[in-house]
Amino acid sequence: MNVYEASMKRIEYIMTHFDNVYVSFSGGKDSGVLLNLCIKYLQENKLNRKIGVLHLDYEAQYDATTNYVEQMYKKYKDYLNIYHVCVPFKVTTSTSMFQSFWRPWEATKKEIWVRDIPDYALTKDDFPFYNENMWDYDFQERISQWIHDKEDAEKTAVLVGIRTQESLHRWRAIHKERITYYKNKKYSKKIADNIFNFYPIYDWTTEDIWTANAKFEFDYNELYDLYYYAGVPIDSMRVASPFLSAAQESLKLYKVIEPHTWGKLISRVNGVNFTGLYGGTTAMGWKNIKKPAHFTWKQYMEFLLDTLPLETKENYLSKLETSIKFWREKGGVLSDETIKELDDLGIKYEIGTHGYKTDKKAVKLEYLDDIDSSDFKEIPTYKRMCICIMKNDHLCKYMGFSQTKKEMQKRKEAVKKYAKIL
């Protein structure tokens, strides 16, 4: 069985067991193929039912992406319930040392919006649960319940087009053992009562995506053709918010592909022009970064912190303090190969205990200045902190940080406060 046949069996299973199904559709290649596969299944089986399509519109995107989304709506209108969302939730930005987030469709910035809100869009007034402290991922979690209730569904399946080939984070999202599968389907995850995420194309490669588009003549975002002409490798082509860390290196392509959009982006979010010039270079923490010869990495970190606004500086120092305490008292998990590298370099450490499902060992370690290791990102160094600062990585995801307890508590309080507003 090839990946196409396996995915169609998964889609058949989902359609059989769930009365409400919708696809999370970004306009990218993966979610585009997934949506096409679902419609193909409906057509081939002559099913008299519709599926939902959810598009979170981030305002700042290529015209080609907007055109593709609208093209799919129009072509398959008889098969789709459309949820096109234009809401000013908070979205992470890595273009600025001054801003840790921005808001698409922010009312006070209407005069500099990249484009107008479509007439058919759902806005914040359509969602009683929306509040201004919401991040985009918070909103995405809540809207699944909103759609479930709106459709008066018994069971809702949310189809997400992620592939494990794309990143370790996505691989873990699929393969992490949990008790929240739907009937032991490991490509599923419970997100609320009677609401489950499903990942039908998790085992596809990039080549599989383009094989399907060619073989079945699926419509796809023509932005990928422009990327190809621009010399971007197929594994590096992304359709995402242009201000995210992963998009720093490709942000400059807006200048070539859609110069009129580029002009609007510059005024929309702080630091876009600088990122367009230096994204993907050592100036923003990419590739082999260097420090002034008279500095240690700790001294260079302190120098970089002193150039930042006070609030931004304190945010990084808080992350650093948490990290130092974690590695000193609890320890991070490292492989035997990495531990051997520590031994070879004469670095002192202690082996601790942990409760994670991994064969790796917990290693208690003081912060190092730098280390020549194949597992550099996993080891606590001041150089690693410098990279976060230069990337404008306010959350320090490069160091493995997720939200802090304080940030998570704020989120929980907001969710609790607005939970009963429907």
- Give me the CATH number covering residue 182: 3.40.50.620
Binned at pLDDT 50, 70 and 90, residue 275 comes out as very low
- Write down the residue that tokens 């150089």 correspond to: 383
Q: Are residues 18 and 139 in the same domain?
A: yes
**366 lies in a domain?**
yes
Tens digits of residue pLDDT in 107-133: 998 988 988 999 999 999 999 999 999
- Asked whether the beta carbons of 192 and 158 are under 8 A apart, the reply is no
Tens digits of residue pLDDT in 163-186: 988 766 667 767 676 778 899 898
Structure confidence at residue 242 (pLDDT): 61
Q: Are residues 203 and 324 in the same domain?
A: no
Domain final residue pick, 151, 177, 211: 211
- Asked whether the beta carbons of 162 and 119 are under 8 A apart, the reply is no
Of 153, 135, 132, nearest to 144 by C-alpha is: 153
Question: What average pLDDT score do residues 267-292 get?
Answer: 53
| Whole-number Cα distances in Å, 33 to 37, 271, 412 | 6, 34, 34
Torsion region of 126: left, alpha or beta (phi above 0 gives left; psi -120 to 50 gives alpha): alpha
Whether 95 shows a pLDDT value over 60: the answer reads: no
Structure confidence at residue 399 (pLDDT): 80
Q: Are residues 184 and 323 in the same domain?
A: no
Structure confidence at residue 417 (pLDDT): 55
Alpha-carbon distance of 54 to 150, in angstroms, equals 14
Higher pLDDT: 72 or 360? It is 72
**415 lies in a domain?**
no
Q: Are residues 110 and 7 in the same domain?
A: yes
Structure confidence at residue 148 (pLDDT): 97
The structure tokens listed for 384 are 């690693």
Of 115, 128, 118, 3, nearest to 60 by C-alpha is: 115
Domain final residue pick, 211, 235, 257: 211
Question: What average pLDDT score do residues 135-161 get?
Answer: 95
Backbone angles phi, psi at 395, to 5 degrees: -85, -10
Domain final residue pick, 180, 211, 242: 211
- Write down the residue that tokens 């860390």 correspond to: 245
Question: Please, which residues bridge with residue 196 across strands?
Answer: 157, 190
Q: How many CB atoms lie within 10 A of CB 324?
A: 13
Question: Which domain does 371 fall in, by range?
Answer: 297-390+392-410
Whether 68 shows a pLDDT value over 60: the answer reads: yes
Specify which of 41-50, 168-177, 273-282 reaches the highest per-range mean pLDDT.
41-50
Q: Give me the number of domains the chain comprises.
A: 2
Whether 253 shows a pLDDT value over 90: the answer reads: no
Strand runs labelled E in 71-216: 80-85, 91-92, 101-102, 156-160, 188-192, 195-198
- Asked whether the beta carbons of 86 and 113 are under 8 A apart, the reply is no
pLDDT, mean over the chain: 83
